[in-house]
């Protein structure tokens, strides 16, 4: 381009830039039609995921719930506690809980005014039946993953290369090397490596090389070379020993940061045991909340009956006063009629609230059982709570609480994990001293394999012509070996000593936690024992109060009919009778809940409800392989590894029976306390009810005309 034209082009470009300014401009397109339907003006928006997961039938098929305005149901489901717990376990893929509202841990009585939404708020924190298997099959921390680090590794690589390269050689001076190097090369490498429990690495590999080029100094244009190597690497100090390698694993350093990352077989096994302890605690909590829900529903029915009795008596009193009020007779004054009316509506509101509590408690039990929230049936407990006095042996209960608690057993596994990590961390303080070695068989020839045995002979005029590499290899002429030692030691061991101190502090922390957890378990057991004794005493007292209130109502009613007492005394007696009835059943239910709470603290709640944990069946191939492995071990010769053998870190399986701890710790049913020791006379026993044997279905009476 001429100089003048270039200057003109620069000037025009500068003028166009100055005229356009610095504001962004949209480009211009000749064939634009304005259809921007494909344009999306947002990066993120709420969308539905593309999944084929169908909603649960029990959730999608729920019918209209029972309420005060919709109290109709098809039939009553007489449900036992055993059936309720069995249904909960059958539907318990996710081990549901009521979000800590129930008094599984000895807290206040459960709330029934809020739905259970713990799974919606924190689904990850809710245990499932899949958790132990997920931990077992973890690709990074599972047992199989840790064992896979010792598996034999097969590696192979094949490369083929074409050479066409100019070189700086003058043919008249050096005719051996060509000016244009041409040829082909290939490299086939195949090997097996195996890590052992002692930390050694054994290897067996083969390397086959092919070389063909136009260098004139070569006897033959193409040659094959093959060699077989036997290698080993055995740590003598750091990284040596069966104990260390089963704790840390062969690859214990994090590839990203180079920090210790212990993930051996023993630690993976402990992680699996910790997950089993969490699973047991989840099943125990599921059973506990189910039983708590069952007895709360029982109390809701009994409380409803007590409120209905108070309502009926208030209704009868109101009708009598209202009749006198209409006739303008004595005893039918306006204030008395209003007082009787207020008493009736008070009890009616109590009945409505109690009926709503029945629906809510029934829904809680349905949730724990994993069934539909409403299906046209109304659950009614068929079991009666125990009224006999039960005494537990304190020393045996304390032994059970400290030995059978899932939380304490989990913490002990954590301590064992920290102890093993400390053993592995102390090994890192040693310097790295490895013994290495290699033995190699070599072969070289014009061909790789030939049917005629023709090895390389150095005394021949043309030693390579007509030979093959494997014949030379099998002749054993060319053998190499190498032996040596590798040493590595950081000056100061700063990171290694810090690692040991770090794991020492972790171990001290976990031991301190275990001690405080045991102290907390003993305090919780004391509170549970006290609750059993207190609730039984309250049940006796409230029974006497209930009988006295009933007799008081009868006496006041007779006196009121005779005109010797006023209406407010009769209404007050009726109200106190209803309160005494509700308080009695409240104490009976609390007594049964406190018994379950004591078993919860002792670690025997699952056995108390007839629940035992065991592993499910494996596939048939697994049993076949295990049987073959057992026969192999039976036919093998036992070798004592001595000090390199890992120490015992497990004391065997957990017992799930009362008698396994050395004494019979079953509760003893005792007769009630001596009546002479109580302030009020106690009956010979605590009958469930002087009237009907079980709770009746809920109902509301119509309001009489004023």
Lowest mean pLDDT among 187-196, 465-474, 610-619, 643-652: 643-652
Q: How confident is the model at residue 2 (pLDDT cuts 50, 70, 90)?
A: low
Measured between alpha carbons, how far is 19 from 27 in angstroms, rounded to an integer? 16
Q: What percent of the chain has pLDDT over 70?
A: 83
Q: What is the DSSP letter of 309?
A: H
Measured between alpha carbons, how far is 443 from 459 in angstroms, rounded to an integer? 16
Measured between alpha carbons, how far is 245 from 252 in angstroms, rounded to an integer? 9
pLDDT at 335 over 60: yes
Q: What is the mean pLDDT of residues 396-404?
A: 92
Lowest mean pLDDT among 439-453, 560-574, 621-635, 659-673: 659-673
Q: What is the mean pLDDT of residues 275-289?
A: 92
- pTM passes above 0.75: yes
Tell me the sheet residues that pair with 210. 186, 224
Residues 281, 286, 287, 291, CA torsion sign? positive
Tell me the sheet residues that pair with 232. 202, 437
Q: Nearest 5°: phi and psi at 269?
A: -65, -40
Q: pLDDT digits over 670-690, tens only?
A: 555 544 443 443 333 444 443
Measured between alpha carbons, how far is 241 from 246 in angstroms, rounded to an integer? 9
Largest CA distance in the chain: 150
> CA distances (Å), 532 to each of 299, 390, 529, 667, in order?
17, 8, 5, 12
**Over the Cα atoms of the chain, what is R_g?**
43
Q: How confident is the model at residue 15 (pLDDT cuts 50, 70, 90)?
A: low
Q: What is the pLDDT of residue 162?
A: 93
Measured between alpha carbons, how far is 308 from 302 in angstroms, rounded to an integer? 10
Measured between alpha carbons, how far is 706 from 262 in angstroms, rounded to an integer? 81
SS3 41: coil
Give 19: exposed, middle or buried? Use CB within 10 Å, 0-12, 13-18, 19+.
exposed
Q: pLDDT digits over 515-539, tens only?
A: 999 999 999 999 999 999 999 999 9
Q: Which two tokens stand for residue 267?
A: 């630690």
SS3 157: strand
Residues in the chain: 706
What are the structural domain ranges in the chain? Answer: 179-248+432-488
C-beta contacts of 502-510 below 8 A and 24+ residues apart: 502/425, 503/418, 503/421, 503/422, 503/425, 504/422, 506/418, 506/421, 507/415, 507/418, 507/419, 507/421, 507/422, 510/411, 510/414, 510/415, 510/418
C-beta contacts of 493-496 below 8 A and 24+ residues apart: 493/429, 496/425, 496/428, 496/429
């Amino acid at each position: 381009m001429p100089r003048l034209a270039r200057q003109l082009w620069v000037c025009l470009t500068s003028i166009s830039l100055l005229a356009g300014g610095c504001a962004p401009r949209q480009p211009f397109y000749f064939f634009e039609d304005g259809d921007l339907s494909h344009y999306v003006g947002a990066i993120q928006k709420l969308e539905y995921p593309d999944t084929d997961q169908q909603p649960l039938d029990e959730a999608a098929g729920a019918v209209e719930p029972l309420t005060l305005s919709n109290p109709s149901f098809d039939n009553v489901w007489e449900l036992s506690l055993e059936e309720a717990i069995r249904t909960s376990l059958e539907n318990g893929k996710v081990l549901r809980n009521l979000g800590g509202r129930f008094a599984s841990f000895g807290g206040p009585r459960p709330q029934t005014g809020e739905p259970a939404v713990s799974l919606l708020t924190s689904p990850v924190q809710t245990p499932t039946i899949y958790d132990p298997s997920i931990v077992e099959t973890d690709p990074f921390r599972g047992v199989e993953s840790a064992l896979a680090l010792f598996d034999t590794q097969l590696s192979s690589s094949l490369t083929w290369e074409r050479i066409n390269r100019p070189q700086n050689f003058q043919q008249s001076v050096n005719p051996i090397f060509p000016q244009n190097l041409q040829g082909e090369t290939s490299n086939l490498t195949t090997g097996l490596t195996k890590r052992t429990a002692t930390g050694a690495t054994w290897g067996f590999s083969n390397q086959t090389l092919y070389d063909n080029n136009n260098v004139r100094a070569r006897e033959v244009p193409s040659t094959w070379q093959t060699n077989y190597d036997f290698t080993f690497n055995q740590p003598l100090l750091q990284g040596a020993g069966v104990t260390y390698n089963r704790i840390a694993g062969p690859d214990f350093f994090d590839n990203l940061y180079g920090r210790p990352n212990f993930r051996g077989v023993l630690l993976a096994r402990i992680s699996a045991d910790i997950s089993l302890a969490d699973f047991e605690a989840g099943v125990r909590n599921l059973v506990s909340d189910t039983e708590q829900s069952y007895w709360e529903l029982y109390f809701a029915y009994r409380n409803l009956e007590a409120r209905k009795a108070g309502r009926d008596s208030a209704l009868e009193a109101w009708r009598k006063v209202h009749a006198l009020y209409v006739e303008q007779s004595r005893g039918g004054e306006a204030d008395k009629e209003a007082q009787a009316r207020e008493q009736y509506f008070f009890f009616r509101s109590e009945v409505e609230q109690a009926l709503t509590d029945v629906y809510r408690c029934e829904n809680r039990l349905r949730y724990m059982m994993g069934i539909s929230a409403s299906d046209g049936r109304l659950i009614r407990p068929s079991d009666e709570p125990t009224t006999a006095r039960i005494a537990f042996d304190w020393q045996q209960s304390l032994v059970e609480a400290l030995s059978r608690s899932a939380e304490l057993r989990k913490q002990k596994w954590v301590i064992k994990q920290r102890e093993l990590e400390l053993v592995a961390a102390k090994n890192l303080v040693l310097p790295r001293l490895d013994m290495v070695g290699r033995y190699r068989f070599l072969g070289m020839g014009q061909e790789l394999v030939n049917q005629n045995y023709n090895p390389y002979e150095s005394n021949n005029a043309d030693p390579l012509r007509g030979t093959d590499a494997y014949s030379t290899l099998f002749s054993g002429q060319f053998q190499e070996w190498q032996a040596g030692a590798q040493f590595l030691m950081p000056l100061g061991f700063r990171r290694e000593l810090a690692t040991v101190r770090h794991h020492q502090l972790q171990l001290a922390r976990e031991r301190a936690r275990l001690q405080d957890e045991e102290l907390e378990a003993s305090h919780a057991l004391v509170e549970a024992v006290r609750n059993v004794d207190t609730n039984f005493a309250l049940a006796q007292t409230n029974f006497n109060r209930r009988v006295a209130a009933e007799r008081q109502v009868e006496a006041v009613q007779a006196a009121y009919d005779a005109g010797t007492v006023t209406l407010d005394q009769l209404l007050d007696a009726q109200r106190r009778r209803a309160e005494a009835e509700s308080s009695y059943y409240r104490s009976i239910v609390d007594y049964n809940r406190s018994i379950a709470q004591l078993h919860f603290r002792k670690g025997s709640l699952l056995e108390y409800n007839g629940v035992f944990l065991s592993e499910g069946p494996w596939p048939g191939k697994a049993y076949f392989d295990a049987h073959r492995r057992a026969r192999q071990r039976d036919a093998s010769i036992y070798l004592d590894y001595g000090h390199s053998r890992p120490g015992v870190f497990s004391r065997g399986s957990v017992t799930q029976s009362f008698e396994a701890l050395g004494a019979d710790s079953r509760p003893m049913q005792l007769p009630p306390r001596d009546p002479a020791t109580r302030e009020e006379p106690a009956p010979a026993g605590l009958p469930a009810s002087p009237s009907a044997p079980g709770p009746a279905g809920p109902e509301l009476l119509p309001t009489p005309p004023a």
